């Protein structure tokens, strides 16, 4: 039973928390441990990052709670961090969510 739930969570189906905030119409940032704000194609602000797995000017791979967030582009940089929020800057070409495990 537990394995089934885990599979569902990492699969395309929604997790229980995601189902809950959808059901009760809670603001997403209250329930979710990850928020991503993108301004144009030059700046992104991410909450809930656990670790930086890869850091090059062309690719930054952020490890989130249960997935990886991959930024590809040019002159990528990480100019600031504070209050649990990391700021990425550069010229973004793509942003990819990749499930882990």
Partner 1 sequence: MALLVKLKNALTGSAKITSGAENTPHIISYCIKTGLPYEKMAFSEGNITIRMSLYAAKKLAKLLREDEIPFEIREGGLPVLLAKYKKRYGLMAGALIIIALLFFSGRYVWDIRVSGNSTLTAAEVKAELANAGFGNGYEIGLDDVDDITNSVLINSEKIAWMSINMRGNVAYVQIREKINAEGEFGGDMSGDSNMVASRDGIIEYIEVMRGTSAVTEGQSVREGELLISGISESTHGEYRTEHALGRVYAITNRHFSVKIPLKFEKKVLSEPVCTKKTVKFFSKYINIFRNYGNLGTNCVKIEEENSFSLFGLPDLPVSILSEMTMEYETVNAIRSAQQASELAFFELERLIETELASADLLRKTISTEMTENEFLLECEIVCLENIAVSMPMGEE
Q: Does 51 bind partner 1 (CB under 8 A)?
A: yes
| List 14, 28, 79, 93, residue binding partner 1 (CB under 8 A) | 79
Binding-residue pattern over the window 3 to 42 for partner 1, x denoting contact by CB under 8 A: ----------------------------------------
Contacts of 55 by beta carbon, 8 Å cutoff, 6+ apart: 61, 78
Cβ(65)–Cβ(47) below 8 Å: no
Q: Does 50 bind partner 1 (CB under 8 A)?
A: yes
CA 59 – CA 55 distance, rounded (Å): 6
Encoding tokens for residue 60? 């930054």
| List 49, 64, 69, 73, residue binding partner 1 (CB under 8 A) | 49
Backbone Cα Rg of the chain: 15
Binding interface with partner 1 (CB under 8 A): 49-55, 57, 77-84, 86
């Amino acid at each position: 039973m537990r394995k089934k739930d885990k599979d569902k969570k990492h699969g395309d189906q929604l997790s229980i928390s995601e189902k809950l905030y959808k059901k009760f119409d809670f603001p997403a940032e209250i329930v979710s441990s990850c928020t991503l704000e993108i301004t144009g194609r030059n700046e992104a602000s991410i909450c809930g990052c656990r670790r930086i797995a890869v850091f090059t000017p062309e690719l930054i791979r952020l490890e989130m709670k249960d997935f990886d967030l991959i930024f590809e582009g040019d002159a990528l940089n990480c100019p600031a961090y504070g209050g649990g929020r990391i700021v990425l800057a550069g010229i973004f070409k793509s942003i990819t969510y990749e499930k882990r495990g």
